[in-house]
Structure formats: structure tokens, C-alpha cells
Amino acid sequence: MEYNIYCDESCHIENDGQKVMVLGVIWCPEEKVPEINKRINEIKRENFGKGDVELKWNKISESGKQIYLQFVDYFFDDDDLHFRALVVPDKLVLNHEAFSQTHDDFYYKMYFDLLKVILEPGNSYNIFLDIKDTRSQSKINKLREILSTSHLDFERKMIKKIQHVRSHEVALIQLTDLLIGSISYFHRHLEANKGKLKVIERIKGRSGYSLMNSTLLRESKFNLFIWRARC
């Protein structure tokens, strides 16, 4: 099988003043992407009158929460869509020097931990990351090197492609942003936006998880890993 993996991240910069760091992915069979995109655009047109509106966690309000609840339900209703997130609860206490690493090294280790349970020998993967800064290409090259080497994919048959995309052009990156935004908001203990809280409650209800703890490693629909620092 060939799969597409759509990646996004929240509060991943070392000195951004935020404690919680979240990396997340949605993955699905590559052949199902046109069908999924069509349905996402249909939901957008039903609510906005057009299909090219960008969904963003930061846009959610109490009055406009309904479309985001629809997308949560769509994710859980479509058996072809799968999600995994990795949460670092407090990156401010990380001691990179003790482990002879930089924050960038840590970032790649977390991405490896995020993706390693998804990649399976015999399948192939196209990985798409939201472009965020001028160092994007070097990040792609490093991540591909780590993933290919760790899976003995020296001919790069498993990891067919890793490339950056712009989130406003890729609906499944937007859906990933919605889910990781929910998890980040929850773990930052924020409560001001009632619309966002309703979305979080819908995710809890549909997933059956509290979002506080890691799920089983092989949970394939809504997989959550709460990373804990070694002392």
C-alpha cells in the first residue's frame, strides 16, 4: 500500500514562551486522497459557500464552532483517516546539554518517535510537512535521512517522498492543524474560548480518550503519545 502522511506542529520552537510542544500527523491511503479532498471541500461549501476557505484552529469561535465540529465528526466517521500526535508537556525543563543535543536534534528525535509506529515494511509513504520557515529544506533532508536509515531504507523505496507544502493549499494539513490545535489547547490548560472547548469535548467523546494519557501503541484511529523526559 502507498500512504500519504500529513504533518503539522504547534509550539515547536525552543524559545517561543510556550511550555507544550505538539507534533501530529494524519495519514490515509494515497488512492483515497481525491475522495477525501472532495468531501472536505463539500463541507466547506455547505458552510462557507466556497471550498477554498482555510480551516485553522486559531479561527475557531463560539459562534463559528459548528463547521469544526463537523470536521471532527468527518474524521472519526471516515475509516481511511488515521491520526497520531506526540505531546511534550513542558519543553522548558528539557536539558539538552545533558544529552549532548541541540533543540533541533530533539525536534528530529520527536518526529522519529511520532512516525516510527506508522511506517511499516512493504508499504510506501509520501510525507508532507507544512512549510514554516527558511530552514524548511534542510529539515526535510535531515528527517528523510533519519527515517530512511532507521528503517534500513537505503534505496528509499519506503519513504518515496518528503516535501513541504503550504497549509492553505492542502486540506488534510488543515485537518491535522485542527486536531493538534485541540490537543495543544487542552494540555496548555486554556479555557477562554468556549468554541474551542466544545471541539475538544467532541474529540474526547468520539475518541473515547481523556487526552491526558498515551493511548495503546497500536491504536490506529486516534493515537496519542505523551512524551516523558528521562531524569
Does residue 5 have a pLDDT over 70?
Answer: yes
Residue-number span of the structural domain to which 32 is assigned: 2-226
Does residue 153 have a pLDDT over 70?
Answer: no
Percent of the chain with pLDDT over 90: 58
Q: C-alpha grid cell for residue 72?
A: 471532527
CATH code of the domain covering residue 65: 3.30.420.10
Contacts of residue 132, defined as CB under 8 A and 6 or more positions apart, other chains included, come to: 9
* Residue at 231 is within a domain: no
Please spell the DSSP secondary structure of 44-99, one letter per residue. Answer: HHHHHSSS-PPP-GGG--STT-HHHHHHHHHHHH-TT-EEEEEEES-GGG--TGGG
Q: C-alpha grid cell for residue 194?
A: 468556549
- Domains: count for the chain: 1
* Residue at 148 is within a domain: yes
Model confidence band, residue 32 (pLDDT cutoffs 50, 70, 90): very high
| Dihedral (CA of 56, 61, 64, 66) sign | positive
Rounded to two decimals, the pTM is 0.90
Q: C-alpha grid cell for residue 150?
A: 532507521
- Rounded Cα–Cα distance for residues 186 and 224 (Å): 13
- Rounded Cα–Cα distance for residues 51 and 43 (Å): 8
pLDDT digits (tens, 9 = 90+) for 94-112: 877 778 888 788 888 888 8
Model confidence band, residue 152 (pLDDT cutoffs 50, 70, 90): low
Does residue 134 have a pLDDT over 80?
Answer: no
pLDDT recorded at residue 78: 98
pLDDT recorded at residue 228: 84
pLDDT recorded at residue 79: 97
pLDDT digits (tens, 9 = 90+) for 162-218: 888 888 889 999 999 999 999 999 999 999 999 999 999 999 999 999 999 999 998
pLDDT recorded at residue 142: 78
Q: C-alpha grid cell for residue 30?
A: 494515497
